[in-house]
Amino acid sequence: MSSLQSARLNQAAIGAGFPAQRCEFKRAAGLGYATPPKLHRSRPLVQGVSSSSPASSVHRRRLQNAACQLRNHGWKRPPAKSSEFVVRSSAADSEDTLKELAEDLSSPAGTCDPLCSVDEMSSSDFQENYKPKTDLLKAVAVGAAVLTGAAIINHSWVAENQNLAMAGVFVLGYAGIIFEESLVFNKSGVGLLMAVTLWTIRSIGAPSTDVAVRELSESSTEVSEIVFFLLGAMTIVEIVDAHQGFKLVTDSITTRNPKLLLWVIGGITFFLSSILDNLTSTIVMVSLLRKLCPDPERRKFLGAVVVIAANAGGAWTPIGDVTTTMLWIHGQISTVKTMQDLFLPSAVSLIVPLTLLTIFSNKEEEKKELRTVMTNEQLAPRGQLVFAVGVGALLFVPVFKQLTGLPPFLGMLLGLGTLWIITDAIHYGDSERQKLKVPQALSRIDTQGVLFFLGILLSVGSLQAAGLLKELATFLDQHVPSLELVASTIGVASAVIDNVPLVAATMGMYSMNTYPMDSELWQLIAYCAGTGGSILIIGSAAGVAFMGMEKADFFWYFRKISGYAFAGYGAGIATYLALYHLQEHPVGSVLGQLPHLPFFN
């Protein structure tokens, strides 16, 4: 058989679940160590994997999908008296052949999934578990709920009690977002439904439909700036990641001392998150920890430090966190002033937990040394160039806004367009580098996260148009003694509730005429909303990502980390207030009053 078919068979077996490394396979569950698959002449009947093997059903499905992939590539069944193709896998003292792939390759080409899915559930399993009546009932129930909601919205009571109806819908939708896992409804879908429902109620209760349309257009303009900014930033990060550009950062970690590693990981994440978003920084650093730290329990502690550092690092730059980006785009905070005033509080919010973790860390952990970083992953072609251009594009956005006065999303799109042209140029004519180009990066960005932001921001915009946020601001002014307490409460609430709608609501509650750019309120909100999410593991996108990647549960984080994170959060607030009042009342002005005191006369 030709070398091309041999290569495809190799690739198919790899896709079946046997990752190759240096011409050897890693251990596959229940199958021992396997040599690279080769084309062998064999008897028509070969011995296969035992059906009692715990992994046999999973691998059988994967092998069937691999055979499907080969047939889609043009492989045809060999003649009757021709050699059969099997994949050999050798254990310590015996050699078995994987029967399933040979049978699937030798079977007549029939219906085959064109996507060559490698899902754990095969088509036969799907047909066995498929219950059309149950699914039909679910679809009817959802449709009935939507129609019922539409009928309720059209009731005259809704028009007469617009604010109460909108508040009820927002609370109900927000509950669906908070209990996403329990209800098995994606928060992005809930957010979009909530946004449409709220604006529909607003159109009914507004003085006229034209007024509601004008308000919706104004809100959509503001929201679209944030959405375009996020899409551009996420695409740039994906392009750099596809070229293994972040390996330049992670390769600099060489220490084996656990306590020192705690500070190194925290420091790198802190500054990395100030350029990237905290979610991307967490994914990059937790992936690195899997290579650095083989002990799962120790890796959890380091991962928790990554979460705290990512949230702290994103709070002091306009592009480091979604909430600070929102405040920056809408003009509540500026670039230079925010970095000057929030850098030290953000650093303190990380230094305090690191210090406490260092002091109270397990003594036995101090004796354990960590292995060095594995270097089997190589930079993609021109990875250094792409990394430099990508990071430069992100850093250029504030400069673009300062020079031109145009919205920041245009600067982000400028950087994305530049990087797009560069990657097209350097990978021109090489079909094997298609995955490094921008179209592939666009397919990997978190689209559902962007749609969630869209739904939340549009929902909050409807509340602002109806005047609900102003009423809430008036209530807080009358019942909460200080703005510092308001901002601090928002930060604590962001540990339970998503900080995006909290900040969006706050932006609509307080007027820029009363609280101008870079006022104490806006900067405290930027800090508190960014770092408060570290108090609980579910309080930030970084925490949720860490939770999923390392299987860290809510109560483990609450027992082991939450106290340290809260101490850092409070210390950061105290640091900001001390610096703010020091700027408002300089030491010189205070000392100038000292001669008037009795003991100075």
State pLDDT tens for residues 176-208: 877 776 777 788 888 899 999 999 989 888 888
**What integer pLDDT is reported at residue 64 of this predicted model?**
54
380-to-3, 23, 102, 247, 434 alpha-carbon distances in Å: 26, 20, 35, 10, 12
From 107, 129, 151, give the residue that closes a domain.
Answer: 129
Query: Is the separation of the CB atoms in 104 and 134 below 8 Å?
Result: no
Q: Which of these, 152, 158, 187, lies nearest to 173 by C-alpha position?
A: 187
**Domain assignment of residue 561, yes or no:** yes
Domain hosting residue 122, numbered range: 3-129
Domain-located, residue 285: yes
Q: What are phi and psi of 445, to 5 degrees?
A: -70, 160
Q: What is the pTM of this model?
A: 0.60
In a domain, 434, yes or no: yes
Tell me which amino acid residue 263 is: W
| CA proximity to 319, closest of 427, 415, 197, 384 | 415
Collapsing DSSP states into helix, strand and coil, what is residue 24?
A: strand
Contact criterion met (CB below 8 Å) for 99 and 52: no
Q: Are residues 175 and 247 in the same domain?
A: no
DSSP-derived letter for residue 299 is H
Whether 196 and 242 map to the same domain: the answer is no
Query: Domain total for the chain?
Result: 3
Examine the domain organization and report whether 408 and 465 are in the same domain: yes
Residue 42 lies in a domain: yes
Last residue of a domain, one of 129, 158, 193: 129
**Comparison of pLDDT for 190 and 449, the residue scoring more:** 190
- What number of other Cβ atoms are within 10 A of residue 24's Cβ? 10
Same domain as 367, residue 514:
yes
Q: Examine residue 214 and state whether it is found in any structural domain, yes or no.
A: no
Q: Is the pLDDT of residue 443 over 60?
A: yes
Q: How many helices, marked H, and strands, marked E, lie in the chain?
A: 29, 4
3-state SS of 398-442? HHHHHHHCCCHHHHHHHHHHHHHHHHHHHCCCCHHHHHHCHHHHH
231 in Cβ contact with 254 (< 8 Å)? no
Do residues 21 and 120 both lie within one domain?
Answer: yes
Neighbours of 60 (CB within 10 A): 22
299/523 Cα distance (integer angstroms): 33
| Predicted local distance difference test score (pLDDT) of residue 570 | 94
Q: Which of 129, 162, 179 is where one domain is finished?
A: 129
Q: Both tokens of residue 127? A: 């047909």
In a domain, 600, yes or no: no
Quick check: 54 and 4 in contact, CB under 8 A?
Answer: no
Integer Rg of the chain from CA: 29
Q: Which helix (DSSP H) or strand (DSSP E) does residue 97 occupy?
A: strand 95-98
Measured distance CA(384)–CA(375) in Å, rounded? 16
Residues 43 and 13 in one domain: yes
202 contacts 215 by C-beta, under 8 angstroms: yes
Residue 236 lies in a domain: yes
19-33, 144-158, 272-286: the lowest-pLDDT one: 19-33
CA nearest neighbour of 50 among 99, 118, 123: 99
Question: Quick one: 110 and 186 in the same domain?
Answer: no
Residues 184 and 65 in one domain: no
Q: Considering only 371-375, 477-481, 562-566, which range has the smallest mean pLDDT?
A: 371-375
Rounded distance, CA 114 to CA 266, Å? Answer: 45
Q: How far is Cα 95 from Cα 159, in angstroms, rounded to an integer?
A: 76
Kindly state the greatest CA–CA separation across the chain. 115
**532 and 433 together in one domain:** yes
Q: Are residue 557 and residue 436 in the same domain, yes or no? A: yes
- 418 with 553, same domain: the answer is yes
Average of per-residue pLDDT across 48-57: 41
User: 583 and 453 in one domain?
Assistant: yes
For residue 595, being part of any structural domain is answered with: no
Distance CA 443, CA 434 (A): 12
pLDDT digits (tens, 9 = 90+) for 402-419: 788 888 889 889 999 999
pLDDT-derived band of residue 567, with 50, 70 and 90 as boundaries?
very high
